[in-house]
Every structure is written in structure tokens, then in C-alpha cells.
């Protein structure tokens, strides 16, 4: 049943992709996801803070930095390194995580998303821009990004003690509806996006090789984290931590590349990577079902 909503949303996106309102609808759903649904989920989970969230944020951020410079060392290409390290946590990570692990994984996923988002805002523009970016501009972009705004609001609400008020007024139904909206909008956008994306066999093969390398990195880094990092309740979080390494490049990389370089070469990496990632996550889900 957990897979039914993402599947229906994906099929809905495939069907809606041929309608005249597809472009407008995709923009609306993406905006709702990034500026409404995910911030609400972040605020809720941070107000009712769970032990280990800060550690997971640092893990997600640190892993992204390591992957970026690891790939950059061999490829000498910042854009390719960004595609390897900056993953699609927004409209793919959350729906996949909820489908595989259930809604109870949301706090861990929120923490991982925030860490990855901070990395993206700090590294993405500098990676695709041909001119150095002022530190003040980068920090301003980070501070005004939806995840950081949501974190700031959550901290304010927590200091005001609003978590006690929320518990008394049955706010859980809003949170539950938000998670449904997040899953539906994310998978629907994916369906609309893939319907009109042309991918060649060579692109798929390259993305498959990249995915294999990233999975190997995931096994090593998650193994080291499980053995040496003092992350509270890591037994419950290690599965979704490994999911980071199954996800494709973030979709907004191509928008940044187009804006700063006037090119769109990352589009084929994102498209083929998304297709390969769907297969990888499906296989991961099967393995989880068989062995856990």
C-alpha cells in the first residue's frame, strides 16, 4: 500500500504530461513541494525534535562534500562532480523514502534533506559559475533558502513552546496531509518530466556506471558511519542514509548551468540518472523486503 500512492502519482504525471496545462502544472507542483510541503514537514519534525537529527544533517552535508571532491579529483570537471554529489532529495528522495520505510522515517529524512540542501546552496552556484561568487551572496542565498527559513521558524516555535500547543490541538492531520501532498506532487512531477525526456543508450550506460560507483561509496561511507559515528538510533536510520547514494542528480543543476554557462549538458545526466535511480531504488526496495 505504501507504494500505491507514488505509483498512481507517477502514472498521473505521465498522463498529464501531454495536456496543454502540463508546463504550468509542473511549475505549480514543484513550487508547492519546495516552498510549502517540505518546509511544513521540516518545521513539524524540528519542533518535535528527535535525537540524532543534527548528526544526520552533518552526515548528509559531509558526504556531499566528500563525493564532490572525490569525483572532481578524477574528472577535473566541477559540473560532473556536482551531478555526482548533489542529489534529488526534494521531489524524489522524500517520496522514495516514505514508500520504502514508511512515514515514521520522516524525521531522519528531513535531517538528511536539510544537510544536502545546505551543501547544494553553498556549492551549486560556485560549481557552475565561471566567475567567483562573493561569500556574502552565497551566505544570503543559503539563509533565504526554504529549508533554512523553515529551520529558523522551527527554532522560534520551539523556543515559544508551541510544541505543547500542537500536541493538544491534533495538528497531526495537517502533517499527514502534507506528507501525502509531498509524495503525490514529487512523483507526479517526475512522471511529467520523464515523459518528454530523450535519453540515449550511451547516457544510460554512463549513468549506470556512475550509479555503481556511488553505491560503492555509499557502502563504504555508511559502513564507516555505522561503525564509528555516534549517531543516536543509527540502526533505524542507516537504511535511509544509504538511500542518499541511490538518488539521481538534483534537477535544478541544469537550470543553474543554463543561467551561468548558457549550456544544458547536465540535462542528459539528470534524465538518465533519474531513470537508473528508479531502477536502483526499486531493487533496493526488493532487497529490503526480502531481508528485513
pLDDT for the residue numbered 104? 85
pLDDT for the residue numbered 166? 61
Helices 234-243 and 106-128 cross at an angle (nearest 10°) of 40
Q: How far apart are CA 193 and CA 141, in angstroms?
A: 26
Cell numbers linked to 19? 495536456
pLDDT for the residue numbered 169? 59
β partners of residue 87: 249
φ, ψ of residue 87 in degrees (nearest 5): -100, 165
Cell numbers linked to 231? 549517531
Give me the residue label for grid cell 495537517.
174
Question: Domains (ranges, CATH) in the chain?
Answer: 4-291 (1.20.1530)
Per-residue pLDDT tens listing for the chain (292 residues): 556 778 888 899 889 988 988 888 888 988 888 889 889 888 888 887 777 788 999 999 999 999 999 999 999 999 999 999 999 987 788 888 988 998 888 889 999 999 998 898 888 878 887 777 777 887 888 888 888 898 899 889 888 877 666 655 567 788 888 888 888 888 888 888 878 777 888 999 999 999 999 999 999 999 999 999 989 889 999 999 999 999 999 988 877 787 677 777 888 888 899 999 999 999 999 999 887 6
Give me the residue label for grid cell 537529527.
53
pLDDT for the residue numbered 216? 98
- The contacts of residue 41 (CB under 8 Å, 6+ apart) are 94, 106, 110, 175, 178, 179, 182
pLDDT for the residue numbered 276? 95
| Burial bucket for residue 195 (CB in 10 Å: 0-12, 13-18, 19+) | middle
pLDDT for the residue numbered 171? 75
Amino acid at each position: 500500500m505504501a507504494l500505491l500512492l507514488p505509483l498512481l502519482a507517477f502514472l498521473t504525471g505521465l498522463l498529464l504530461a501531454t495536456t496543454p496545462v502540463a508546463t504550468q502544472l509542473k511549475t505549480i507542483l514543484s513550487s508547492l513541494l519546495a516552498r510549502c510541503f517540505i518546509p511544513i514537514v521540516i518545521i513539524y519534525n524540528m519542533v518535535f525534535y528527535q535525537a540524532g537529527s543534527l548528526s544526520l544533517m552533518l552526515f548528509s552535508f559531509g558526504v556531499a562534500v566528500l563525493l564532490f571532491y572525490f569525483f572532481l579529483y578524477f574528472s577535473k570537471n566541477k559540473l560532473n562532480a556536482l551531478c555526482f554529489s548533489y542529489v534529488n532529495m526534494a521531489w524524489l528522495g522524500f517520496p522514495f523514502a516514505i514508500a520504502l520505510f514508511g512515514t515514521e522515517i520522516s524525521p531522519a529524512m528531513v535531517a538528511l534533506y536539510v544537510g544536502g540542501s545546505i551543501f547544494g546552496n553553498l556549492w551549486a552556484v560556485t560549481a557552475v559559475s565561471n566567475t567567483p561568487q562573493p561569500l556574502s551572496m552565497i551566505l544570503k542565498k543559503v539563509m533565504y533558502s526554504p529549508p533554512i527559513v523553515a529551520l529558523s521558524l522551527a527554532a522560534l516555535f520551539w523556543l515559544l513552546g508551541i510544541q505543547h500547543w500542537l500536541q493538544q490541538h491534533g495538528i497531526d492531520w495537517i502533517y499527514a496531509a502534507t506528507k501525502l501532498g509531498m509524495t503525490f506532487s514529487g512523483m507526479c512531477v517526475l512522471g511529467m518530466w520523464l515523459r518528454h525526456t530523450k535519453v540515449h543508450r550511451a547516457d544510460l550506460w554512463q549513468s549506470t556506471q556512475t550509479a555503481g560507483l556511488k553505491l560503492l561509496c555509499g557502502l563504504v561511507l555508511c559502513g564507516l558511519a555505522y561503525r564509528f559515528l555516534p549517531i543516536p538510533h543509527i540502526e533505524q536510520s542507516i537504511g535511509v542514509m544509504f538511500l542518499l547514494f541511490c538518488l539521481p542528480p538534483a534537477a535544478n543543476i541544469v537550470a543553474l548551468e543554463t543561467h551561468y554557462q548558457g549550456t544544458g549538458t547536465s540535462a542528459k545526466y539528470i534524465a538518465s540518472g533519474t531513470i537508473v535511480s528508479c531502477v536502483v531504488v526499486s531493487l533496493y526496495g526488493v532487497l529490503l523486503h526480502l531481508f528485513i
